[in-house]
Structure 1
C-alpha cells in the first residue's frame, strides 16, 4: 500500500497542495474553516507530516527551547516548575509544538546551551525562565536576533516579549496584609539576589513598610540560604534579639516550609509567635502545618501564556503589548494571624 501524500490530502479536502503545506506549518493567513477541513482530511487518511523534511524546506522545527534556571535536580524539587511546565506543554500541544529543555549548573553552561540550540537550528524560539539583572542570555539572544520570550521580565529591555506578575505590587499587597494585622516588625526571606523576581518582591516589601511609616531592618532581610548549612544561626540570632520580627514575608512557598521547620526547631510556633506569608500557592501550601497564607500567581497560566505569546510572535502576528501581566490574588490561611 502506498503512503499517503500531501496531494492525497489536498484532493480529499478540495484545496491545493500548497494550502495543505500552509496548514501543516500553521500559517496565520489560512482561515480556521480551511484548517479544520484539511486537518479532518489528514486524520481520515492517517496522514502524518514529515517534520524533519518540512523543517528543511521551511526552516521551521516546530520545537521551542526551554532554558531552565538551575540544574534539573534542584528545579523539579519545587512544584512551581512542574506546574508552569504543565501550562507550557498544554499550549504547545494545541499548536503541535514540542519543547526541548536544557538545564545547566551555571551561567556559562546556560550560554553554551543556548548557543547550541540557536546555531544548531534545533528550535524556532526560546523560553527563558527566571531572568537575572543584566542577564547575559538575554543579551546573547538579542545579539543573535533570535525569537524569545521571558517568563519574568528584563530590567534593561522593556521591548522584549515577557509574561510576568506585577511582583512589586504582589509583595506590597502581602506585606500590607501583615501590616493590617498589626505587625510592625516584619522580616523578609529573599530568593537569589540577582533574579529580577527577587529584586521586585524586595522592592514591594520595602515600599509597603515605608508607606506605613515602619522601619526597614537590613538585618531582617535574609537570603533563602539562611535555611541551609551553618547559616541557620542567622535566623536564631534574629529571633532571639530583644525585639524580633513578629512576621516574615517569604519569597517562595517551598522556602516557607523550610523556614517554618527551622522556627519550630528553635522553639517558635507559627503563627502564635511569628506569622509567615509567602508566594506561589503551590498545592502543598494548603496541606502544610499550618496552611500557608500565600500569593496565588497563576502558575499554570504563566506557563500557558508564555508559550502562547512566543508562538504568536513566530506566526508573524503583530504584538502590540510585548509585556503581559498575569493578575495575582492573596490566599489567606492559618500561617498568619492578627497580632494580639
Structure 2
C-alpha cells in the first residue's frame, strides 16, 4: 500500500512538504508542488478523506461529476435538469457550493481525482455512472465521501439514492398484464440495458413480472442494440416489421423519451395508439400529458433524488451517516390514455 512516505521518497522531499501539498498549503514552491502531484498520480496515491478532514477545515464544496457530453446539454435533458435542480435547492439550503467536474474524470481517473483533491472538494455526487468504471474503486479505496445519484450500485459499500428500478419494471409490466396483454415488448436505450444499474434493474423487473404471470420471455421482444450510424426509431421499426399475429400488443419503454418517440413513429406509419399498440413509460415528463393520447407512465421524484443525494453527502462529510448509506424513494403510476385493455 502506497503511503505518504513513499511519495516523499519518490519526489525527493520531506513528508511535511507532501502533507502541505495534500492540504493545499500556500507555502510550497509551484514546481515542487507539481512534482509531488505527478508522483501521486504515477503511484495511484489518493489521500484518505478522513486524514484530510483531520488536517483541514471543511470547504463546504461538493463536486458534481457528469458523464461525457451532459454538461453541454443538461438544460435540455429531461433527467439531469430536474435532478440537478434538486441538488441546487438542497445545496442552497445547506449553504454548500457546488463544483461541476469536467467529463474527463471518466477517461483519466488518477489525474482527475487528484485534481478534485487539490481543489478541496469535501465530497462528490456521481451522475450517470456505468456499471463498469474505474472511478468507484478509486473512491472506495480513498475513503472519499461520495453518493451515486439515481443509481443503486450492486456494491453494498457504495452510498446511493435512487428509486427501486426492479419494482418499477415489475409495476409497468404488471399493469400491461392486468390489461390483458401477453405479448409485451421491452424498449431499451439505443445502447441496450446492460451498461447501467438502473436500466438493467428495470429489465429484471420486466422479466420477473412475466415469470410471475406465467408468460414466456422472448428475446425478439427486446428492442435491438443500435450502432452509432442507426437512427433511434429503428428500435420501433424492429417491432413493426414483425408478423402482426406475433407482434407485441404493448411496449414497455424504460424511459418516457423513447415512449413519446415510439408513439409518434407508429402514428406516422398508420398505427393507432392504443388501439393497435399500447405504450407505458417511466419518468412523467411535461409533454407526456399532451402527447396524443397521453402517455401512461411511472412518475419518479427526480428533484427529490437530487436534493436527498446532496443532503446525504453533506451528512457523510460531517460523519452523521455511514459511507454505505442507501435510500430508495417512492414512485407512482400515472394513468392516461396510451394503454387499452385487450
Same-fold call, TM cutoff 0.5: yes
Q: Which residue of 1 aligns with 2:21?
A: none
CA displacement, residues 276-335 of structure 1 (integer Å, 9 cap, x when unaligned): 111111222222222111111111111110101110111121449711110111111111
Please show how residues 215-254 of structure 1 align to structure 2 within 5 Å: 215-222=216-223, 225=226, 229-230=230-231, 232-233=233-234, 235-242=236-243, 243-254=246-257
- Tell whether 2:211 aligns with 1:213: no
Taking structure 1 as the reference length, the TM-score comes to: 0.76
CA distance 1:168–1:136, shift in 2 (3 Å): same
Q: 1:262 aligns to what?
A: 265
Question: 1:4-58: CA deviations, max 9, x gaps?
Answer: xxxxxxxxxxxxxxxxxxxxxxxxxxxxxxxxxxxxxxxxxxxxxxxxxxx9x84
Shift of 1:104: 2.4
1:48-67 matched pairs, under 5 angstroms? 58-67=56-65
Q: Secondary structure at the match of 1:229?
A: coil
**Runs of 5+ in structure 1 lacking a partner?**
1-54
Q: Distance in 2 between matches of 1:283 and 1:161?
A: 30
Task: Give the CA deviation at 1:130.
Answer: 2.6
Q: Per-residue CA shift, 1:265-284, capped at 9, x if unaligned?
A: 33222211111111111222
Between the aligned partners of 1:62 and 1:198, the Cα distance in structure 2 is 33
Q: 1:279 and 1:231 mapped to 2: Cα distance?
A: 18
1:223 deviation in Å? 5.2
RMSD value over aligned CA atoms? 2.6
Local SS of the residue matching 2:157: coil
Alignment match, 2:291: 288
Structure-2 change in CA distance of 1:92 and 1:293 (3 Å): same
Q: State which of 320, 325, 339 in structure 2 corresponds to 1:336.
A: 339
Q: Contact (CA 8 Å) 1:130, 1:197: kept in 2 or not?
A: no
Q: Give the Cα separation in 2 of the matches to 1:207 and 1:263.
A: 27
Q: Is the 8 A contact 1:66 1:101 kept in 2?
A: yes
Question: How far off its partner does 1:228 sit?
Answer: 7.5
Measure, in 2, the Cα distance between the counterparts of 1:95 and 1:146.
20
Identify the residue that residue 89 of structure 2 maps to in structure 1: 90
User: Residues 333 and 323 of structure 1: is their aligned pair in 2 closer, same or farther, counting only changes over 3 Å?
Assistant: same
Q: Distance in 2 between matches of 1:226 and 1:180?
A: 35
Identify the residue that residue 163 of structure 1 maps to in structure 2.
Answer: 161
TM-score by length of 2: 0.76
Unpaired stretches in structure 2, ≥5 consecutive residues: 1-52
Q: How many residues align?
A: 284
Aligned partners of 1:228 and 1:298: how far apart in 2? 34
Q: For the residues of structure 2 that align with 1:222 and 1:334, how far apart are their CA atoms? A: 23
Contact 1:227 1:259 (C-alpha < 8 Å) held by counterparts = no
CA distance in 2, matches of 1:171, 1:113: 38
Q: Secondary structure at the match of 2:220?
A: helix
Q: 1:94 to 1:155 in 2, by over 3 A?
A: closer
Contact 2:122 2:317 (C-alpha < 8 Å) held by counterparts: yes
Question: Which one of the candidate residues 304, 309, 316 is aligned to 2:307?
Answer: 304
